[in-house]
Each structure stands twice: as C-alpha cells, then as structure tokens.
Structure 1
Amino acid sequence: MPKSLLRAASAVVLALAALSVPAAHADEVAPVAVTVNARAALASVPETGIGANHAIWDSNLGTDETAGLLKDAGVKLLRYPGGSYSDIYHWADHTAPGGYVAPDTDFDTFMSGARRTGAQVMVTANYGTGTAEEAAAWVRHANVTKGYGVKLWEIGNENYGNGRYGSAWEADDHADKSPAEYARHVVAYADAMKAADPTIKIGAVLTTPANWPDGITAEGDEGTWNQVVLSAAGPKIDFVILHWYPGALDRTAHVPDMIHLTREQIAKHAGPGAAERIGIAMTEFNTGSSSNGTNTQPGALAAADAYATLLANGVFTVNWWNVHNGIGAVTEVEGHTDYGDFGLLSSGGCTSDGSVCEPPLNTPFAPYHALRMVSEFAHPGDRFIRAATDEAQVTAHAVRRANGDLAVMLINRSSGTSYPVAIDYAGFSPASGAPTVLTHTNGATGITRSTTGTATGQTLPPLSLTTLVLRPSAPQTGLPGAPGRPTVSGLTDKTATISWPAASPGARPIAKYEVHHQYGAVSEQLGETPGTSLTVNNLKPGTRYTINVITRDTGGGLSWSSPPLTFTTGTPAAASCTVRVTDQNDWGNGYVGAIDITNQGAPINGWTLNFSWPRTWQGFDSGWSAVWTQTGSDVKAVNDSSNASLATGASTTIGFVGTYSGPNVLPTTFTLNGTLCTTR
C-alpha cells in the first residue's frame, strides 16, 4: 500500500476513535505513524556486527572487568592495536616508536580479553613503518603458534592521511605515498600473510564517500585513492575498510548512498565477481560531535541509529571508537556532564587542571547503553526489514527473527517531547497483549525491561531508545520457505528479469512467487509467477530499485521475504540525444562537473537540458556555456548564443561547479527539449 494510503487509513482510525473520547487538548501531541514492513527485507544481522576498538595505550585493555562489560554490551568484534598507532606498532617487541604503549597491552593479553568477551578479532597490520614479512610473522604467531584463529586482518589504518592530499597524521615511511604504492604493498602483504595462513581475510583501506579525501585525485595519480587501490589490489583483498566520523548527530540518511557508492566502486574497479566477494567493514565509527554530546544521550541515540542503519545496509561490522579514550572538552549536554570522551567506558581521568574528573574507571557512558540496546534489538541471524515514521524526531528500525518474532527499535531525539506512536505492520500480525519493552532514557544507568502498552501503541520518552519484542499472533508453522537471493539480468531502461532459487515448500505446495519493490517503508508488488523468474516492465529509467521475492502456498500462506536485490535501471539504448556527466576535479565537498551533450536526431536550433539532483544535499554554485537555473532540486540549462545550433551528430560541453554535503550521487537522467537522452 502506498504511504499516502497508510496515512489516510491511520487518519480514519484516529477520527473514529475521537468519536468516543473527549476532544484532545491543544497541547497534546498527535501520534506518530510508524510503518513496519516485514515483506521488505534488508541485510541480515552479521555475527560480527557490533564491534569496538581497543588501543595499546589503554592499560585496561585486557582486564576482566573491561572484558565483562563488553560482553554484557553484546560486543562481537574487537579491533587492535588502535587507530593510527597501528602504523607505528611492532607486535613482536610490543613497541610503538613515537607513541605510548601501556603495560599489559601486548597481543596475547589482548587476545585473552577478547576471548573473555566472546568476540572475534580484527588486527591492523603495520603498513606505515612495517613490512609484509613482519605482518606474516604476526599471522603465524597468532594462528599457527597460538591457534587463535584470527581471520580478519587490515593492511594499515588511514593511510590516505600520509600527506598525499595535503594533511598528514598517519605514519608512512615509504618514499612514495601514492595509492598505487599502497596497493602494491597490499598485494605483497596479502601474499605473505596468506602463505602463513590461507584461511585469513585481508582488508584494504578506502576513503569513505563524501568524506575527505574521497573523490580527490592527487597530482601524478591515475585516479582517486579508491579507484587506484581497488584496480591494483582488488583481486587480492576480501573486504574494504571505511571510517566515519560524521561530526553531527543526524547523518544516517547518508548511509545508504555511502554504502551503495562503495559497492559501485568495488564492482567497477576490483575485478570480476568483486561485488559478491568483497565485504565492507566500518572499522572506526563515532559521532565525532563532542559539542553535541559524545558520551551523553544525544550521542547514544545517534550511535544506535547509525549502527542499525549501517548493518541494515550490509556492513559486516561497525566498530566504535573507542573502548577507553580519555577526557576532552567538558560541556553540559541535555542536563548531564559530557566529558568530550569518545570512549564507551570512563577512563576515570581528570582535566589537566584537575577541576573536573570523570566518573570512576569503567563507568559506562550513554553510547555503551546504545550498543547494548542494539545487541538486544538485533541478534546475529535476524534480518533487518523496512521501518519508517512520519516524524523527523522519531526514527524506527526493525528486524524479523527466525522463530517468527519481530523486534522494533524506536528512537526519540526530541529533548522535550514525549511522542505517542501508532505502529502499523505489513506482513506480520502481532499477538494481543503487552509486548516486552526495553527502554533507555536520558541519564539512565541501564536499560529497563517491562511489559507495557500494546504492539501498536507506545509512548516514547524524550531522548530515549525503546525496543519492542513482539510475538506473532499465530504459530509460524507449515509456511513455505523464503526464496533465495534474487539476481537480475536483461536490465534496460524499463525492464529487468528477476530470477531466484526456488523456496522449500511447507505443509502445502507452493502456488506462486510474488516480486515486490521496496517503496520507502511499504512494498509495491511488481508481478507474480509460478516459476522462478519474472520479467518486470514499466520501470523508470535511471532509478535504483530494491526487490524482494515472497513465496505463497496453495492455502494462501506467505513466507518471509527473500534477501534483497538492488539494481539501477539504465537509460534508452538509442535516443535522439546522448549525455555524459563527469566529475572533473573534486575537493571533498564540491567539484567541477562537465556535461557533454550530443544531438543524435534532426538538427536543432535552441535547446534546454533538464535534470534533477538525486539528493537534497546537492546543488551548484555556478555554471558556464549555458544559462543555468535551479528550482528546488530541479536544474535547467538553456543554450547560450555560442552553442544554440546542434547539427546531427554535433556535440557541445557545458560546465558547472557542483556542491555536496553528503554522498555525491551524480544525476543519471537528462532530457533535451523534453526528450529523454541516453546517458553514457
């Protein structure tokens, strides 16, 4: 059902309810409409989803108390030896020239703590001041000598920060600081390390889309950092590494495009089959916003939102920076002291003048409780499903569980408003009675658990995290299995053939499969078939689609939906015009763009090119070789006097300075004098 119809239906229900109750006071808050769609599946929850960073300058890295707290929070992956220290750290003698190494932080001590936590491990091998041989010896020590079974190994930390792009914070002793040199060493490291243990997985450092220095091509390079690294090292790596410090608490809208663009780069540059073979890890994440609350409740809400959004988009781990970090700039945020500490747990330190001290060592900060809430909400093996609200201050996430349960996490970012919510479910019927409710509120020192409200109605306190755990109204037995992951072929501007592995029948034979398009938080059925392939027509050119397939049996019973398939339609293979748009020179939040226009039809004298920016955070500052105007996200370029006439086969190039404050998804559809062009 389209979202507008859902809202209309909700309005009717509310209107009928109003007939039997006194009129609402003017200051009462209208219920927030929440939509949860169990038919719109996203990524599954990985075993290693909830992670954190340990650092060798933290003397509490391997203590039993720290390990126990991380276990209680559901941390399933620990990264070592700690950010930029990775590129100065020598594991064999446990030294980091130029840095501080705390007692009891060596690799074996770290592994002991990780095992007590019950977490898998990711190790960052020293690229900046190390060698492939040193890294290979570490693999042998870890997995051959000690039998630790460490599978995930990064090559370096933030190696693009070696001065290549004008800013240097990462140690790099190589005379050549280019991405090509880094990629050459990644290949050498991978060969040496996999010779020691062929079962390990190797990760390479990428820049994060829309985060400096992503998109910049340095002098002498053949492309951006990501393009060069993936082209040279792609066949040797198993995952890529992103870091994200958004610097604000409301940037999760960037995540789908951030991850989609990374996947596009992998598919384009890393070789055949790379998109299916190479995973994405967010090995450092923090809100990066000490002024808005790094270790108080606003930061916690942003953390829960970001973890859920990143995992729902297929990232296999998100690692908080850091377990312990230390006191920073002290402020007051939402009624509580914020210590400017990027840690999950208090380090127990004081400001340099001793005027302010943190709580006792290992006191959990608010983001710790956020990670714990995410681990209670999304268990490994669950599958994320679409959820959305009609209120900007309230965010929703949902997962379905193999046993038929559903969990819904609701985030209220308002500092002064308690929001009632009215939850509508598609593809799931909740049991009657009060659900299990987990809540964390501003300033709370833990998560409360209760049985309250209903599956369709709750009230969210200000600055709160709330998770509902819901049972189905009827036993989930005898239903057909979900189809396997779909694939796409025969993709054009308007058609796509969707195929999928057959589902296993339940108590009754399979009657058909239904193909659904995720349309926001609701689903639109595109077609159905008794077979395992369907050609879908009437798609929109240049549009990204996410598809699920559902099994229906002869009694009307429905399966859970398949894993998602995402693809983007093209533009007409032949048209009376062709357009090519390129990013000619990027500086991280803006770029010089060029649009090449070719007339493939009859000669024209006077033309207008129309297109729209795909995202609200995109625009342009100026343009040339045309008269440029922008209304909202819609852009119009009209010929100037020098290029009004285009003979058949003739071309002209117009240019602009584009701006962006999020992932820069270039426009894909253009019309020339009202005709849709072929985009090259």
Structure 2
Amino acid sequence: MRRFRSAALSVFVLAAVPMAGPPVAAADADVTVVVNAGAGLEKVDELAIGVNHAIWDAQLGTPEVADLMRDAGVGAMRYPGGSYSDIYHWRDHTAPGGYVAPNTDFDHFMAGVRRTGAKAIVTANYGTGTPQEAADWVRYANVEKGYGVRYWEIGNELYGNGHYGAAWEADDHPDKSPAQYAALVRDYARAMKAVDPTIKVGAVLTTPGEWPDGITAEGDAGPWNQVVLSIAGPEIDYGIVHWYPTGESGPEVLPKTDRIADQVRLVREQARRFAGRDIGIAMTELNTPYGRNTQPGALFAADAYATLMANGVFTVDWWNVHNGVERASTIAGQPDFHDFGLLSSGGCTADGTVCQPAMNTPFAPYHALSMLSRFARPGDQLVGASTSDPQVVAHAARRTDGGLAVLLLNRGEDTEKTVELDYAGYSPAAAAQVLTYGNGATAITTTQGAADAVTLPPYSLTTLLLRPSAPSTLPTTPGRPVATAVTDRSATLTWPATTPGVKYEVHRQFGTTSEAWGETTGTTFTARNLTPSTRYTVNVVARDGAGRVSWASPPLTFQTTSPATSTCQVRYAETTNWGNGFVADVAITNTGTRPIDSWTLTFTWPTTWQHADSGWNATWSQSGTTVTATNVDGNRLLAPGASTTAGFVGSYQGPDVQPTSFTLNGIRCSTT
C-alpha cells in the first residue's frame, strides 16, 4: 500500500491488488509506479496518432505503406509535406522548385488514407497560393469527390519566411509579417468554409520556448502568436505547432518531454488572451535529433505522443513516413541512419559504404506508434501516473471497455528495472497482458504477467493491459467543470448534471495524489481557503447509492488571483525577448502604511530551465528555482506609496513561463 495525501473530508485509498505469478517483492523493486485512475486527464482523439506523407515520396499511398500505417494504428495522415505545402499546387500536381514523385497526387494520397482507415489533414498553399485555390481544393475534396476532409491548415511554418531573419519557407507576399499572414488566414478560412462550413481551419503558431517564439520584429504589435491570434483568432478552429527538440544524446533529449505541458498550456492561454476563446491544438510535425531510427527515437516518440495526448493535443504527426539517409552511426548497439522516416527508404550513405535495410522496413519509432495505439485508443482517457525513478516514465489510460493500460518506458540504456505498481481508484484483476518492445527488436512481443509487478528490460517500452477485478456498470462521467467568480481565496465550480440521484465529488489533483475538496448533490461547488496566485487542477466524479464511482471528468485548471489586499505590489514585465533570453523589469511598490527599511524580494520560477543571470538596482541571486533580489543602498527605504524598479537579464531553454507569485520580506504581494 502507498499512502495518499489526507484531506479534510475524504481521501482516495489504494485498492489491494491480488498477487499473480512470481511478484517482485516491494522491498526488492527498483521502482514504484503509482497509477491514480481518478486523476482524469484528457481523452484520446481519433486523430491522435498521426504521420506526415510527402509528395516527393514515391511510396505515398501504396498498399504496402497503407497497410503498415493501419497495423500501427495511425489515425491521421498529413499532406502534401512540410515546406512543400507552400509551393504545391494541387490541381496540376506541381511544386515549382521541388521534386514531385509519380503517383503522389491528392487522389493517390486519399486512396492510401482510406485503406489505412485514417483521416486526412491537408495543408493549403499559403506561400505561393491563393484563398481561391484553397477553396477549390475543398470543393474538389468534399463536394466533388466526397472525401470528407475535415482538417485544413493554412501554410506551413510561415514564421520561417525571412521575417525574423531565417528564410526556409516560400512566401511570395511582399509583406511577410504575422499581421499579413493573419489577415490572409481570415480570407482563406472564409473562402474555404463558404464551400464546406463543416471543415476545421488551423493557423500556424510558434511553439512556446522554440524560435522565434517571444520575439517581436520591427513594426509588429507583438510576437507572432499574439498578432496571429488577435487578428485571425475568430476565424480559426485550431492552432498548429511543430517541435524538434535539440540534443546529442539520450540523457539530453529524452527528458525534454517535460516541456510539453507548459508548451500546450501557454498556447491555450495565448488563445484565450488574444483570440478571446479556446481553440484546438495540433502538433503536426514532431521528431527527435538523436536516435531517429533506433531505441532513443522510439522512447521519445512514445513519451511525447502520450504526454501530448494527456494534455489535449488532438493530433500528433511524426515527420515523416519516408525521408532518407543523412549519416550512419551505431546507437545503443543498433544501426542508425539519422533518417526522419518511420520506414526505411532503402538508400545508402553518400559514399555507398553503409546501406539501410530493405524499403519499408520499420524503424524503432514505427514500433513506438504501434505500442501507443495498443496502449490508448480513441475515446480512452489518460489518467495520472508517476514513478519513483526518473529513468522510468509511466503513462496510464482508462479504457472505454473498463480496462486500464499502463505504458512504462525504461530510459536506462544498460539497466534492467524491476517495478512495483500501486493503483488508486481502480482494482485490477491479478493477471495482465504484457506487451514489450526492446532495444533492437523487430516486433512487439506479448506475454502474460502480473498486474502489480513487472521487469523492464534496458531501453524498452512495456505496456500492461489490465481488466477490472469485478466489472460493473459505473455512473455517467461528469462533463468538464467550469470555474467562475475566481478570487484570491475562492472559486465556484459548475458542471452539467448526469445521472439522477448521484453525489458529485470534487478532487484536486497533485499528479497521482488526489485531495478531496468536498461533495454535493447539486452541480455547483465553491472551493474556499485557497492560496493566492496558485494554479489548481480539479476533477469531478459521480458516486451512486451503491458506492460505484464514475470516471473522472476531464480536468479543469484555473489560477487564483493575487492577494486582494497586501502591503506590497509587484509588476513584472519582460521588455525585450530574443528567443532564449530576455530583459525583465520588476517594479515594487509599498502599498502599506509603514515605511519599509531594507527589503528582499523572492519568487520561484515555474520550471527548472529558467534562470536570472544578472541584474541591476538590486543584488540578484538564484538557488534552484528560487530567485532573490535584495535592495541596494540607493533604494533601501520605501516610504508608504513609494516605488522602485529593479531588473535582470534572464535565460531559458524551454517555454518561458512567467512567475506569478512574489513575496517582499516574507509577505505575499499583489501583482499587476
């Protein structure tokens, strides 16, 4: 048994798990994994597991490739391929300046999509195209041919059109600013939806923490995302982000999936702030810089996809199906070709000394996608999971058929890990089906094992498929709650009614720990005694008269305001940003009635990759994630109503998440 944080009213208690086979004794296990089935995250979309297909790939749409994609559980296929999207003209199937392979036109692509059983994501040509050309494509696809293509993008990575210096994306418009892109996105969306009002249109956004996010070019009203969302926000349905993290080793690259939650949250916050509404998020390109064809690539893919799905990204599309050899090396004992493709292109290095396996041989990330599709299927809900060892990563999914799946990744290249599993909010049967993909394997193996213990081979992906110990019909799952009347100390939560006669319980989530806030027979609950400037994540569950508990609602995350009253006030503002660093001003005001004679300001970065490097008008230091600024002689005394401003140069290697809570001499300040 593992103990969970106690609460004033109630607490989740772990269900006892029957032993099966030769279990790993708790005292002998290397790692403890905790799964909290009541800590509901987001549900898996039917487009969640996606890939990119490019018109220069002669294997595009072939039966062999379509069948491989189907077997891997691919649900989305993106076309016509990255930067080619902005030079591609669909009607005559040309891409001036690029290569177009035979039999890769739109109809061939759609034949492959249909054989796969997937959905299409199509990128309309912004760089050298027109709104009319895009609207004609929608008409051909959905009116004339009946393909039912629902998701359309407007261009690809248009922030790479030279506006910020680097130019890899074709863009013939004289004005290459985000304002011009956003204005034309409105025209594209209106023209395309006039043909088929049911389609969803996406606009290109920058990924938080990745160039050129945060940079404001000369003449712009703000960074790319601010301008695009402010202008095009009312017309679009989702935002498009891409992510290619940097790094030269497994230990450097694999942990970077910890950036994902903040990437997604910041895009959502930007949409609410600048577009005034929620929009979907699609990561339509993703890959890794290390071990692209070997086990590091598989581990990265599995962790990144699962984390993105858990955070509500509706499609994640690997770049790409085929690509080609860049260079040959040996990684974790296996041949790697630095090839972006999921499948081998059958090529050789430039000097002809090293060749890939036969055409369409799956690389390791392909098997990761196969594992993901067996782990979490459309409609399943990701739930909280945590581990005691950073080398082992855990994800869990509550399945629509009553089962539970646990995905475990061993990022240790040379070390086997024995794992003990504990469950809260779910009581599994003793036996489990165990799926394993190990380093150098050519397929996923299936064996029988125990629900509460498993041994993970080095550099491996393992999924446990569990059944409930006593299947039963559960109450209807509540809908996502909404927070209103949020203050520094309270918030009112509401949700739609479900089954008559149930009680609703509200739980705050701390990863795999659930704290019960209270229960009600109504659909409104006011949480009190909250902490100012604090982010909370909550779920609602329904409990019927027999004690059966529903799935957890989708999560709600909200943040309390800064203190309504305080003797100090802080205004934090970044004045300049260059993509991985910034200058920030911090204005401090004495709002009390007594003078402050010497002061110390502290705040904590929300992430581990942010740092205050140097500053002025205060003595700055950082320990861990805590930043401290102490007065200098010139601003030691702050009379009532007086202010002073200090500043610093900061740096970051991931999403730039601004601090929200500041204390002055131990007193929490209000913020503006």
Q: TM-score, with normalisation over the residues of structure 2?
A: 0.95
Asked whether the 8 Å contact 2:542–2:550 carries over to 1, the reply is yes
Q: Distance in 2 between matches of 1:504 and 1:145?
A: 44
| Matched residue type, 2:462 | T
Residue number in structure 2 paired with 1:399 = 397
Q: State whether structure 2 residue 75 is matched by structure 1 residue 76.
A: yes
Residue number in structure 2 paired with 1:467 = 463
Task: Provide structure 1 residue ranges, at least 5 long, that are not aligned to the other structure.
Answer: none
Q: Distance in 2 between matches of 1:214 and 1:641?
A: 37
| Matched residue type, 1:518 | Q
Asked whether the 8 Å contact 1:2–1:523 carries over to 2, the reply is no
Q: Distance in 1 between matches of 2:601 and 2:347?
A: 60
Q: Provide Cα deviations, 1:118-171, integer angstroms capped at 9, x if missing partner.
A: 110011011111111111111111111111111111000000001111111111
Residue number in structure 2 paired with 1:175 = 174
> Post-superposition shift, 1:354?
1.1
Q: Provide Cα deviations, 1:607-652, integer angstroms capped at 9, x if missing partner.
A: 2211111111111110111111222222211122222232332222
| Matched residue type, 1:282 | M
Query: Which of 610, 624, 628 is matched with 2:620 structurally?
Result: 628
Residue number in structure 1 paired with 2:434 = 437
Cα gap change, 1:631 to 1:139, in 2 (>3 Å) = same
> Post-superposition shift, 1:23?
12
Q: Distance in 2 between matches of 1:522 and 1:638?
A: 36
Q: Distance in 2 between matches of 1:144 and 1:498?
A: 43
| Matched residue type, 1:101 | V
Query: Which of 580, 592, 595 is matched with 2:571 structurally?
Result: 580
| Matched residue type, 1:120 | K
> Post-superposition shift, 1:3?
5.6
Q: Provide Cα deviations, 1:93-142, integer angstroms capped at 9, x if missing partner.
A: 11111111111111111111111111100110111111111111111111
| Matched residue type, 1:45 | V
| Matched residue type, 1:435 | A
Asked whether the 8 Å contact 2:24–2:453 carries over to 1, the reply is no
Q: Provide Cα deviations, 1:34-54, integer angstroms capped at 9, x if missing partner.
A: 000000000001011000000
Cα gap change, 1:481 to 1:541, in 2 (>3 Å) = same
Residue number in structure 1 paired with 2:538 = 547
> Post-superposition shift, 1:21?
12
Query: Which of 498, 503, 507 is matched with 1:503 structurally?
Result: 498
| Matched residue type, 1:532 | T
Q: State whether structure 2 residue 599 is matched by structure 1 residue 607.
A: yes
Q: Distance in 2 between matches of 1:459 and 1:306?
A: 23
| Matched residue type, 2:384 | R
Query: Which of 469, 476, 494 is matched with 2:472 structurally?
Result: 476
Counting only pairs closer than 5 Å after superposition, residues 502-541 of structure 1 correspond to structure 2 as 502-505=497-500, 509-510=501-502, 512-541=503-532
| Matched residue type, 2:442 | T
Q: Provide Cα deviations, 1:298-336, integer angstroms capped at 9, x if missing partner.
A: 110110000000000000000000000101111100011
Q: State whether structure 2 residue 279 is matched by structure 1 residue 283.
A: no
Q: Distance in 1 between matches of 2:153 and 2:205?
A: 11
Q: Distance in 2 between matches of 1:655 and 1:381?
A: 48
> Post-superposition shift, 1:655?
0.6
RMSD: 2.1
Residue number in structure 2 paired with 1:235 = 234
> Post-superposition shift, 1:578?
1.4
Q: Distance in 1 between matches of 2:391 and 2:538?
A: 28
Asked whether the 8 Å contact 2:580–2:652 carries over to 1, the reply is yes
Counting only pairs closer than 5 Å after superposition, residues 112-123 of structure 1 correspond to structure 2 as 112-123=111-122
Asked whether the 8 Å contact 1:403–1:476 carries over to 2, the reply is no
> Post-superposition shift, 1:553?
2.1
Residue number in structure 2 paired with 1:564 = 555
Q: Distance in 2 between matches of 1:437 and 1:381?
A: 22
Q: Distance in 2 between matches of 1:482 and 1:250?
A: 33
Residue number in structure 2 paired with 1:160 = 159
Counting only pairs closer than 5 Å after superposition, residues 80-95 of structure 1 correspond to structure 2 as 80-95=79-94
Asked whether the 8 Å contact 1:34–1:396 carries over to 2, the reply is yes
Query: Which of 474, 480, 494 is matched with 1:485 structurally?
Result: 480
Q: State whether structure 2 residue 591 is matched by structure 1 residue 589.
A: no
SS in 2 for 1:357: coil
Q: Provide Cα deviations, 1:537-569, integer angstroms capped at 9, x if missing partner.
A: 222222211101111222322222111111111
Q: Distance in 1 between matches of 2:565 and 2:304?
A: 42
Percent of matched pairs sharing the same residue: 62
Moved more, 395-404 or 371-380: 395-404
Task: Provide structure 2 residue ranges, at least 5 long, that are not aligned to the other structure.
Answer: 7-11, 247-252
Q: State whether structure 2 residue 632 is matched by structure 1 residue 640.
A: yes
Residue number in structure 1 paired with 2:249 = none
Moved more, 226-235 or 647-656: 647-656
Q: Which protein, 1 or 2, shows the higher relative CO under an 8 Å CA cutoff with sep ≥ 6?
A: 2
Q: Provide Cα deviations, 1:79-104, integer angstroms capped at 9, x if missing partner.
A: 00000000111111111111111111
Q: Distance in 1 between matches of 2:484 and 2:365?
A: 43
Q: Distance in 2 between matches of 1:254 and 1:436?
A: 31
Q: Distance in 2 between matches of 1:93 and 1:392?
A: 52
SS in 1 for 2:566: coil
Asked whether the 8 Å contact 2:179–2:228 carries over to 1, the reply is yes
| Matched residue type, 1:360 | A
| Matched residue type, 2:596 | I
Residue number in structure 2 paired with 1:414 = 412
Residue number in structure 2 paired with 1:654 = 646
Asked whether the 8 Å contact 2:410–2:461 carries over to 1, the reply is yes
SS in 1 for 2:634: coil
Asked whether the 8 Å contact 1:417–1:462 carries over to 2, the reply is yes
